[in-house]
Structure 1
Amino acid sequence: MFKLVILDRDGVINYDSDEYIKSADEWRPLPGSIEAIARLTKAGFDVCIATNQSGLARGYFDIDALHEMHHKMIQLVEEQGGRIVKIEFCPHAPEDNCYCRKPKPGLYQHILSCYPDINSAHVFTVGDSLRDLEASVAAGCPPILVRTGKGERTIAKGGLPENTIIVDDLKAAALHIIYEENVPED
């Protein structure tokens, strides 16, 4: 039986910027986030990423730069003994009205389709924005909101989906998920 967690990227794993993260040099992990992914991996979870990357459509960076950012993230996670199984990203601008851009559930649904025997009600998602939470709920997954990134702004605006779990950061989210699933840690 697979155990799965789906994470947003910017503001959850790495520092976010209103000017976009445009290169591997600008991509910097938040304190404890890489270790949290490794902890989830060691507890038996497949860790996948679902991230909006409209900077591609806006021309702020190209696909090679995005791959370099993701390679850096994967390498750091692997150095800590973790693993990122899959990265799904939406390259579209908001006005493209695509199905993959959060708050629509397309990214989550695509990841879930790779796990046909898993019940989405047992797949926690972690994000820092309302659109992350809305996509999670639309895909049938329980949402966790971190206070990092845009999390505090999201809390201040209100209107969170019912049963949203709020934690300080990805480390706290990982501990909640592991405890909730009663997974013994090594």
Structure 2
Amino acid sequence: MDAFIRLSEKSGYDFALLREVRRINEDQRASFLKIIEDKLWIIKNKTIGVLGLAFKANTDDMRNAPSIDIIKALQHEGAKIKAYDPKAMENAKQVFENVTFCADAYSVAKGSDCLLLLTEWAEFKDLDFKRIARLMKQSIVFDGRNLYKDHNLRDLGFEYFGIGRGNLSGK
């Protein structure tokens, strides 16, 4: 996004639409963080599991990935981060400090206070959430990609927050 904005500025074109898209993306990330903070209340020393680090599925591209701002903000608040991405782990290691990189989603879930889904990888669609519930300290999922059906996870005892669905109560 930033590259397109710079390109339009260099060519003398005021591409206000791109700047507005960037602003909306930033607002969505801030709203996502606020929902997490409101639910967990105290972030310090919480273990937060992150599923998906890349900008989008099927790539290892970390440029402008939502995970960057979200993880860094949570770390600033004192969270301990565990993360997994099927393709972007090596690139993510160049971006993040003090993140525990895990071998799979279940390793991320083990001992986590909540899970954040930040990239909609196909392998995340069919996770065994009964197993995940047993591994986690608290059964809380913040779905930043609306990959899951809220009623399915709630039936398994999870508090589910699907971002952008208007069902942010977790009930």
TM-score strictly above 0.5: no
Q: Tell me: higher relative CO, structure 1 or 2? Use CA pairs within 8 A at least 6 residues apart.
A: 1
TM-score, normalising length from structure 1? 0.41
> Who wins on radius of gyration, i.e. which is larger?
2
TM-score, normalising length from structure 2? 0.43
